[in-house]
Amino acid sequence: MLTRTLLLTAAVLAAPLAASAQTGTSFSQVQSGTYAVEPGHTQIGFSVLHFGFTNYSGVFSNVSGTLTLDTKTPSASRLSVTIPVSSVQTTSDKLTDELKGDQWFDAAKFPNATFVSTSVKSIGKADAVVTGNLTLHGVTKPETLKVHFIGAGENPMDKKYTTGFEATTTIKRSDFGVKMYVPYVSDDVQLTIAGAFEKQD
């Protein structure tokens, strides 16, 4: 019985390892086509310097959108995503509620943030610079993401062909009219995005 339990545990643990083995896939080998955001494993993390004491973080989730991926001609790729502002989460329930309010993101009036790419420039074999229009709090500004390809392959859990990327950028929240407590809570907001995409038939 113990042996069977150990074997089952090993099999469960091996599934993510099998997926991670796919990261040996080069970007040029990834299947081109139309992908949809896989919201369960896509998140947008943000970090601000809080009163000069700590880099305080939170996250947005429930992202939706599409990626049109052309691995042979990366510049032809396109990305469009929507982020529900009310999905914001921090380790403080009080702060989370405040961020949804009209002094911060005003989720009732501006329920979604969006990013729509305008250009994609390949940098090396696994990196790209993606420029696009970010709309947040009713304001649209051009922003640039530094994107790194993580891996691709068949997800062993649901058998769907999946590809994943990490993106980073820094934005000024005051550019989007979110000015509460600037400069005590930093104007600069660091974003780290984990993006998973499932290929559509």
Confidence label for 4 from pLDDT (cuts 50, 70 and 90): very low
Q: Could you report the per-residue pLDDT of 162-185, keeping only the tens digit for each?
A: 999 999 999 999 999 999 999 999
Domain architecture of the chain: domains with CATH: 2-199 (2.40.128.110)
Residue 104 has pLDDT above 70, yes or no: yes
- What pLDDT band is residue 9 in, cutting at 50, 70 and 90? very low
Per-residue model confidence as pLDDT tens digits over 32-65: 999 999 999 999 999 999 999 999 999 999 999 9
Q: How far apart are CA 201 and CA 75, in angstroms?
A: 22
Higher pLDDT pick, 27 / 19: 27
Buried/exposed code over 19-52 (b: 16+ C-beta within 10 A; e: otherwise) = beebeebebeebeeeebebbeeebbbebbbbeee
pLDDT score for 25: 79
Q: Provide the whole-model pTM.
A: 0.86
Arithmetic mean of pLDDT, 93-112: 98
The distance from CA 10 to its chain's CA centroid, rounded to whole angstroms, is 30
**Segment 69-98 mean pLDDT:** 97
Q: Quickly state the pLDDT bin for 193 (edges 50, 70, 90).
A: very high
